[in-house]
Structure 1
Amino acid sequence: MDPYPISSGGRLRIAQACQKQKMACDMAMRQHRYFFPRLAVLLDAFSLLRPATRAHEVASLRLRLMAEASPRQVDPQERRLALRLRDMRTQMIGLIGDVRACRSCARGYPLPHGRWEGGYCCGGTTENVFQQEELACLRASGTRPRDFRTPRAVHAGCAFRGPRGCSLAPAHRPNLCVRYTCRDLHEEFSKRGIERQVRQLASQIQRTFSEYRSLRSNRLDRESLERFEAETKKISGKRMNS
């Protein structure tokens, strides 16, 4: 005997409720099968366009930039050289224009260099290109953290490399990136009749940057010595008072 007897009307209501529950579950499963794959695609696309590796590299770069002396804190001559280098970088990009050699130099190479057909030399690491002296020069010339704008593309080498080239304005690029020329570029510049101009400007950038590095090194040594002397006087004063 059933200890919990249910009337025929009760059984019907239970059956109807179970049927509604099943229909609701089926509907939810159909929605999930439609929604979640598309959500996964969107998330994958977002992770490609805004990968964590790029975010970490750019965040580190901005912190290292701000760790350098501001334009007002550096020596006047040091700032003049930094500004001159900024002008020469812009001049170099204007001189070489839209080069053809960089459009296909990475074709057939493994990742990350071969992610796109062009920009092989930009497939290296961000840190190796943006060395501290380069960041100091950019900071002295007025580059701000927000000037490090990244492309909406897969992270493939340098954080600022995209399918259409560098996402940075010439004024905010390292001197090395602007003055470096590979063999293919040399051949193209020779055919265009600008090889001599490019070589002269690249040499001028290299010499000016070397002079800037020397001034910066002297300033850092001087500041370090001043801090040491101040600390020594402070310790000596405490000993005399004790």
Structure 2
Amino acid sequence: MPKGKKIHETGTITVVKDKTTGVEHWIFVDAYTLEEVQDKPATETEPGFWSIYEHRLKNGIDENLKDWQESDELTKSIEKAAADKGVNINVAVTEENMKKLSTDAVTTLITGKTLNVNLYGQEQSDYCAAASGKMIAKYYGVTHTQTHIYQMMDEGGVIDDQKYYYKTSRSEGGLGKTGTFDDGTPIFSQLTSEINNNRHVVSLIPGHVRVCRGYSGSGVGVHYLKINDPLPVGSGHQYIETWGAETCHIYVK
């Protein structure tokens, strides 16, 4: 659990202490992705990890620093509640002790939803938007080849061209979702609203297009997305990632 924190413009350096062994060590946490960053000393040609935020996305740092603080505060409240109830959290927590804590206000509510959607690997190196379109079309009972969607999207390199496929009527080869729109400043609450209403979200990151099929989150503000990625070519894969990497959403509705 975090023992102490020191905020830098590039992230958070934290002392982590193993409560069983008492061993302490430092880690550097990326304030944007909330992932641990391995130490990388500067060289004559490489600046080291201190320049990591040259590639950060707008508004990511402040939000995640806030999430980190909320998580730390929740941890402290859980530790206090456990101590008040005579629960030793330095050892394995028994079912009996879990029941002692289960009615406490510090219990974190985990929420989320996952939609069923076929996973299709992109058939060509530049078919990520087309493969994502095929996933969403299949969910709505429409079967289009990736080549057809690729052509409808005029190769899919431009967001408006992707929306053209989704909004064009089915009689003209599209999906007929005329309410489709894009958002260049993705908001987690908007995404959850769409998923909760059984609508997938087209998830764009720099140079790539995927489908978000679900989400999960906690009361401490840490959010996760469930991604159908058309890469690798020919197979695709599913994974969960921390919220914050996307540059744009296309809401198909």
Does 1 or 2 have the higher relative contact order (CA < 8 Å, sep 6+)? 1
Higher-helix-fraction structure: 1
- TM-score normalised over the length of structure 2: 0.24
TM-score by length of 1: 0.25
Q: Going by fraction, where is strand more abundant, 1 or 2?
A: 2
Larger radius of gyration: 1
